[in-house]
């Protein structure tokens, strides 16, 4: 009787234990092995096939650009594959293992911390990757046999890809954190969904968006004509500020003094970089420039009834425009360049045209050829690089200033300047909104923050919510 009772109790305990098991654990124990392996391997296999297929699609379109482009890009793919293998497999595999072990032992807080560690590792290794490739990429690709146009193509592609290496590392390690929780479906959806977007976008991005397709105009509308890199960066920074603020608050709550020191150093580095750029940027005049003779020339003898252009003046352009009564088609406010000669080629400033490559010089040339249209009669040159172009399009040197440091060029038969009509100019009400709405919204946000009770404000935790089943122990009597 006693043995029968023990057997019954044992059977009941085993049955109860099996009922309480997690469904994934039961699948490992009860479902046929081959079926279980296939089910577990299918998501990873699908991700790998997708990631292998994407470069093949891109190579197909790149081949349409010619042999040099194809040869150059082929030098970069091994490096890109190596970075992907390390971030996904080696270090990514370690992240998967660490998070899975933490969750398996019921250490949810530790698993949450591991997400931050993974992000820190991604940013650090991403910056190291960018520095190495940008610094040594040319030497490496040349040693692999690239030269001439193919080396130029390799560097162009490599600098674009690895300039954002931090994003590659973040993407792969964050996917690893999700895989560590046991969720294999989300990585598949992200990778395959991205591939579905990339396949139609690849030819547009490879063959060029500018004037070759209608996609940018359809997406941006009028902004396509005036959106410049610095304006895009400005708005992107404004959109990122709330996220950065939340991140900073979370870091201060978690790491306190260490976070405060790190954030302070980051702020100092940010402002220091901006100030250093003012001193070392290539757009500034190579030497201290005295523009007083130019201002005097424009303000006498009716010269201010015509427009002018300065070349190689850098930041001294603003002093000329401030002190003279003449007008110009150029300026420091780049996003206001609405003339078709500027928007067609994507050049932001004429005075720094050579720094914008062939597009900048093409924009300058067409502007010089259309001088009669805009009443441009005078060009002042502080960089001899531009003088052959001026001679080629029919301008002649008429005067020199500062012992030849600045030369003045002119063109005959140019009519006086008149008001330039442009359909791209904003309406007066849009200008009013631009002057009042942004600052008004800022003041409104500050007012609401001061007036609303603190208890009603929702606390937004920036992080990855990791779910883990509590560890269970089963005993068999």
Same domain flag for 99 and 156: yes
Residue 390 confidence (pLDDT)? 92
In a domain, 1, yes or no: no
pLDDT at 123 over 60: yes
In a domain, 109, yes or no: yes
Q: 3-state class of 144 per DSSP?
A: coil
In a domain, 3, yes or no: no
Same domain flag for 397 and 331: yes
Domain count across the chain? 3
Same domain flag for 190 and 63: yes
pLDDT at 96 over 70: yes
Same domain flag for 36 and 70: yes
In a domain, 60, yes or no: yes
Residue 128 confidence (pLDDT)? 94
Residue 169 confidence (pLDDT)? 92
Same domain flag for 157 and 35: yes
Of the residues 207, 235, 254, the one at which a domain ends:
207
Same domain flag for 226 and 371: no
In a domain, 442, yes or no: no
Residue 322 confidence (pLDDT)? 85
pLDDT at 243 over 80: yes
Residue 2 confidence (pLDDT)? 47
Q: For the segment 254-309, what is each residue's pLDDT rounded down to a tens digit?
A: 888 898 999 999 889 988 888 887 777 766 655 578 889 999 999 998 899 999 99
- Is the separation of the CB atoms in 184 and 44 below 8 Å? yes
pLDDT at 319 over 80: yes
- Is the separation of the CB atoms in 389 and 361 below 8 Å? yes
Same domain flag for 41 and 128: yes
pLDDT at 472 over 60: no
Residue 351 confidence (pLDDT)? 84
Same domain flag for 188 and 228: no
In a domain, 276, yes or no: no
Highest average pLDDT, of 148-152, 204-208, 237-241, 307-311, comes from 307-311
- Residue 107 phi/psi, 5-degree rounding, is -90, 75
Average pLDDT over residues 332-344: 65
The residue length of the chain stands at 477
In a domain, 178, yes or no: yes
Same domain flag for 248 and 391: no
Same domain flag for 153 and 53: yes
Of the residues 366, 388, 410, the one at which a domain ends:
410
pLDDT at 335 over 70: no
pLDDT at 22 over 50: yes
Q: For the segment 30-65, what is each residue's pLDDT rounded down to a tens digit?
A: 778 788 788 778 887 888 888 788 878 888 878 777
Q: Read off the pLDDT band of 211 (50, 70, 90).
A: very low
Contacts 24+ apart (CB under 8 A), 41-45: 43/184, 43/185, 43/187, 43/188, 44/184
Hey, CA dihedral for 66, 71, 76, 77, is it positive or negative?
Answer: positive
- Is the separation of the CB atoms in 417 and 371 below 8 Å? no
E strand segments, 296-455: 307-311, 327-328, 376-381, 396-401, 406-410
Residue 209 confidence (pLDDT)? 46
Task: Of 216-220, 286-290, 319-323, 434-438, give the lowest mean pLDDT range.
Answer: 216-220
Of the residues 350, 380, 410, the one at which a domain ends:
410
Residue 453 confidence (pLDDT)? 61
pLDDT at 12 over 50: no
Same domain flag for 199 and 230: no
Expressed as residue numbers, the domain containing 358 is 292-410
In a domain, 29, yes or no: yes
Average pLDDT, the chain: 79
Query: In the chain, pLDDT over 70 holds for what percent of residues?
Result: 78
pLDDT at 470 over 80: no
Pairing of strands 307-311, 376-381: parallel
pLDDT at 6 over 80: no
- Is the separation of the CB atoms in 180 and 97 below 8 Å? yes
Same domain flag for 111 and 150: yes
pLDDT at 455 over 90: no
């Amino acid at each position: 009787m006693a043995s029968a009772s023990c057997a019954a109790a044992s059977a009941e305990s085993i049955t109860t234990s099996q009922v309480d098991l997690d469904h994934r654990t039961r699948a490992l124990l009860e479902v046929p092995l081959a079926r279980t392996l296939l089910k577990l391997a299918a998501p990873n296999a699908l991700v790998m096939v997708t990631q292998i297929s994407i470069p093949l699609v891109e190579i197909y379109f790149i081949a349409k650009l010619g042999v040099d482009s194809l040869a150059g890009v082929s030098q970069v793919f091994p490096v890109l594959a190596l970075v992907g293998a390390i971030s996904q497999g080696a270090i990514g595999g370690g992240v998967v293992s660490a998070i899975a072990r933490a969750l398996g032992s019921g250490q949810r807080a530790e698993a949450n911390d591991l997400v931050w560690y993974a992000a820190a590792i991604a940013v650090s290794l991403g910056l190291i990757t960018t520095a190495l490739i940008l610094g040594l990429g040319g030497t490496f690709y040349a040693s692999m046999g690239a030269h001439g146009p193919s080396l130029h193509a390799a560097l162009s592609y490599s600098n674009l890809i690895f300039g954002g290496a931090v994003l590659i590392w973040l993407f792969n390690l964050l996917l690893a954190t999700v895989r560590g929780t046991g969720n294999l479906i989300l990585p598949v959806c992200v990778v395959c969904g991205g591939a579905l977007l990339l396949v139609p976008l690849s030819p547009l991005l490879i063959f060029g968006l500018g004037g070759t397709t209608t996609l940018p105009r359809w997406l941006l509308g009028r902004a396509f004509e005036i959106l410049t890199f610095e304006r895009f960066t400005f708005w992107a920074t404004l959109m990122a500020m709330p996220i950065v603020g939340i991140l900073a608050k979370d870091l201060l709550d978690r790491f306190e003094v260490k976070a405060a020191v790190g954030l302070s150093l980051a702020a100092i580095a940010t402002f220091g970089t901006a100030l250093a750029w003012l001193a070392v940027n290539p757009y500034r005049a190579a030497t201290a420039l005295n523009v007083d003779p130019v201002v005097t020339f424009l303000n006498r003898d009716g010269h201010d009834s015509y427009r002018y252009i300065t070349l190689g003046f850098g930041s001294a352009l603003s002093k000329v425009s401030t002190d003279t009564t003449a007008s110009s088609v150029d300026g420091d406010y780049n996003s206001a360049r609405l003339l078709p000669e500027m928007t067609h080629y994507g050049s932001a400033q004429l005075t720094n045209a050579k720094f914008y490559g062939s597009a900048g010089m093409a924009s300058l040339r067409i502007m010089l050829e259309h001088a009669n249209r805009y009443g441009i009669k005078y060009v002042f040159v502080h960089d001899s690089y531009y003088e052959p172009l001026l001679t080629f399009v029919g301008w002649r040197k008429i005067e020199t200033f500062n012992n030849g440091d600045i030369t003045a060029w002119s063109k005959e038969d140019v009519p006086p300047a008149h008001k330039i009509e442009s359909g791209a100019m904003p309406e007066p009400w849009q200008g009013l909104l631009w002057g009042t709405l942004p600052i008004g919204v800022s003041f409104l946000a500050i007012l609401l923050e001061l007036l609303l009770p603190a208890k009603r404000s929702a606390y937004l935790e920036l992080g990855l919510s990791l779910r883990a089943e509590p560890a269970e122990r089963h005993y068999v009597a």
